[in-house]
Structure 1
Amino acid sequence: MNTHKNNTITLERTGQVLVTKIRCANNYFLRLRGLIGTPALTKSEGMLISPCKQVHTHFMRYPIDVVFLDKHYTVISKVIAMQPWRVSSYVTNALHVLELPANTAAMLEPADKLIFQ
């Protein structure tokens, strides 16, 4: 179900809050649609897609940051400002993808752990 949760996502290393409103895409149709046809994410919004190893931005109107996470919500890799009509790499070890507004994930590094509260 595509839910809007008012939970926060915090970067464990710094304590910085990345997201205060999470959209969840956790079934086939919600994962396929993702952010297509939606307004751009605000600074405090993100979409968590699970399970997910690869994303596309076909039919989107704005760029996004894409953060690939493992089962412990540890950063594996990221794409900054992925433009519309692109397909990401397939990240074998990923279990989740966190989509954020463009240029907001620059401070994330591989092995950073995200805390969901």
Structure 2
Amino acid sequence: MKLILENSVQHIPIKIFQYNTFLKRLKGLMFRMKPIVKEGILLSPCNSIHMFFMNFSIDVVFLNDKNQIIFIKENVKPWSVIFPIKHAVSALELPNGTISKYSIQLGAFIEI
């Protein structure tokens, strides 16, 4: 899967992996030793995340049922938690710095 910001028709060169089972969502990026580069994961359904057992920071974007960005958090540190986000149905975990590099903004629609 590829990531496209629909409001600017901007293709973001990041390969997206879909994690839509309980075990895949639970593990997520835990225990990976190196930061993710040019890849991300879409957790669905998901309205919160934890960074337990993580070894690097990431950017996180929460989406509603229309794939509209409703919450953005940059540089989420290991061992932190993002509590449930109202109306979020999925979370997109991206390499640290992706949000600012591609000017990802609230209200934008994402095609995956």
TM-score normalized with structure 2 length: 0.90
Counterpart amino acid of 2:106?
P
The equivalent residue for 1:85 is 79
1:111 equivalenced with 2:107 (yes/no): yes
Q: What RMSD, in angstroms, separates the aligned Cα atoms of the two structures?
A: 1.2
Give a deviation string over 1:80-114, Cα, whole Å, max 9, x none.
01000000131020001000001111312111000
Q: Select which of 50, 56, 72 maps to 1:56.
A: 50
For structure 1, the residue ranges without an aligned partner over 5 or more in a row are 1-6
More strand by share: 2
TM-score normalized with structure 1 length: 0.87
Local SS of the residue matching 1:105: helix
Q: Select which of 76, 89, 92 maps to 2:70.
A: 76
Q: Report the number of matched residues.
A: 109
For structure 2, the residue ranges without an aligned partner over 5 or more in a row are none
Q: Select which of 5, 8, 14 maps to 1:14.
A: 8
Looking at structure 1, the residues matched to 23 and 62 of structure 2 have their Cα atoms a distance apart, in angstroms, of 20
